[in-house]
């Protein structure tokens, strides 16, 4: 009887796909699961779309047992499908999983939508994770959409005490909650990430990636919980998201090009950072970065560019624009730090070999919680070139009284246009 009902529902869904392209409702497997999905522009070729629900492969919501096996079986079915369009459903409820690897290539599938409506919880057993791996990894997939309003809960509170990376640069890295590797044409929207063990979201060697309407949260004291980290990727766009975490809201690593970050509300956290760059040999250049229409609230930094002192190889970061940024009680609203040295073992008196040029700060306004609101400390070995500040208006936060803010510059001759508060460096 269940098989007949399941078959009937499958047929009914295809009818809805063909006639409306708006939504469908699934009720099945005694779980009273209802999925209201807006599928227009999400699953093409709807008449032949394959629907894969993890419940059909043995997953059970609100069950304390690990559901990884069922998720892997469902993914195997979805990725190996002969259908061009696949809808992979994780319904409402709590699911304990991980680590999970959703790997491609999915040879025949050109549009794969992963609809997460539930609350996924990561395993707290750190022995299950490889250093630098992800809790949930998507790799080598073309045309993925991850959406659904669900939550990825890294359960990081039990792991943070084991993060010793601040004192040991050879530390074992805790897992990133959502890691994307070698992806093409990816859309991530309307998901939440909470309490990641390490980074919330990381991109490595991805192209044509769009993330929007993301909600990322972890306590301000949680170590290395960067909201979004991007490395060796191109044509990446993140927008309209809220990030409150214990490290950088967004960090732009080496080898990136054509990155746009817009309409991000950041805080608490360490702001939006380029870097750190220059830590490893043979790093690739960063070029073509736009950060605009963002707001920083109570962050330790606003816009930061940081490169390692005594970097082992030559590299560059160029053509970077930071525009229409509001700072609210930010400790370092604008900062270039080319003597970045978080470990006591590094030699900070050796100049950085990372070349910074064509940097534009436009329409930056708000309040600074420190006296030095603009700090441009460049490398004496490779001084910054073509740095422009246009219409910068940063005043002291109310809790600092009437003390005037100031600028500090080293190894740079910046160009100033329009309003300049604090006064330019001389």
User: Which residue out of 270, 377, 393, 426 is catalytically annotated?
Assistant: 270
Task: Cite the beta strand spans of 245-401 per DSSP E.
Answer: 250-252, 257-266, 272-277, 286-297, 301-308, 315-330, 332-340, 354-368, 372-377, 385-396
Residues 6+ apart with CB under 8 A from 347: 309, 310, 341
DSSP 300: S
Known active-site residue 270:
yes
Token digits of residue 167: 């004192």
Residues 411, 377 contacting (CB under 8 angstroms): yes
CA distances from 418 to 155, 373, 413 (A): 47, 17, 16
Q: How far apart are alpha carbons 391 and 418 in whole angstroms? A: 5
CB atoms within 10 A of CB 362: 17
The 3-state secondary structure of 382-401, one letter per residue: CCCEEEEEEEEEEEECHHHC
DSSP 142: B
> What amino acid positions are annotated as catalytic residues?
270
């Amino acid at each position: 009887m269940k098989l007949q009902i399941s078959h009937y529902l499958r047929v009914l869904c295809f009818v809805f796909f063909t006639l409306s392209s708006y939504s469908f409702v699934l009720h099945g497997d005694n779980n009273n699961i209802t999925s209201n999905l807006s599928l227009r522009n999400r699953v093409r070729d709807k008449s032949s779309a394959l629907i894969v629900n993890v419940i059909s492969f043995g997953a059970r919501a609100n069950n304390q047992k690990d559901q990884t096996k069922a998720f892997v079986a469902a993914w195997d079915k979805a990725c190996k499908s002969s259908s061009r369009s696949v809808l992979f459903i994780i319904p409402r409820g709590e699911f304990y999983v991980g680590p999970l690897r959703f790997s491609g290539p999915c040879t025949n599938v050109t549009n794969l939508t992963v609809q997460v409506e539930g609350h996924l919880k990561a395993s707290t057993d750190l022995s299950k994770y490889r250093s630098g791996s992800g809790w949930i990894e998507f790799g080598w997939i073309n045309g993925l959409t991850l959406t659904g309003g669900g939550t990825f809960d890294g359960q990081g509170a039990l792991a943070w005490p084991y993060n010793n990376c601040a004192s040991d640069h050879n530390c074992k890295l805790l897992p990133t909650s959502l890691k994307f590797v070698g992806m093409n044409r990816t859309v991530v929207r309307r998901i939440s990430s909470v309490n990641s063990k390490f980074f919330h979201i990381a991109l490595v060697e991805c192209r044509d990636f769009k993330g929007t309407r993301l909600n990322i949260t972890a306590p301000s004291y949680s170590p290395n919980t960067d909201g979004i980290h991007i490395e060796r990727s191109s044509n990446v766009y993140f927008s309209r998201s809220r990030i409150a975490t214990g490290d950088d809201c967004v960090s732009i690593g080496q080898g990136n090009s054509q990155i746009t970050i817009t309409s991000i509300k950041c805080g608490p956290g360490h702001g939006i950072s380029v870097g750190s760059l220059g830590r490893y040999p043979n790093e690739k250049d960063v070029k073509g970065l736009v950060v605009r229409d963002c707001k920083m609230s109570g962050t330790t930094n606003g816009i930061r560019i940081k490169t390692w002192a005594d970097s082992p190889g030559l590299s560059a970061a160029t053509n970077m624009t930071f525009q229409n940024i509001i700072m609210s009680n930010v400790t370092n609203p604008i900062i270039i730090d080319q003597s970045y040295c978080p470990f006591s073992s590094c030699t900070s008196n050796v100049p950085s070999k990372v070349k910074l040029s064509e940097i534009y700060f436009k329409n930056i306004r708000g309040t600074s919680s420190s006296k030095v609101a603009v700090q441009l400390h460049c490398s004496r070995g490779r001084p910054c070139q073509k740095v422009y500040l246009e219409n910068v208006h940063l005043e002291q936060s109310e809790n600092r009284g009437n003390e005037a803010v100031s600028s500090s510059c080293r190894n740079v001759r910046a160009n100033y246009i329009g309003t300049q508060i604090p006064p330019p460096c001389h």
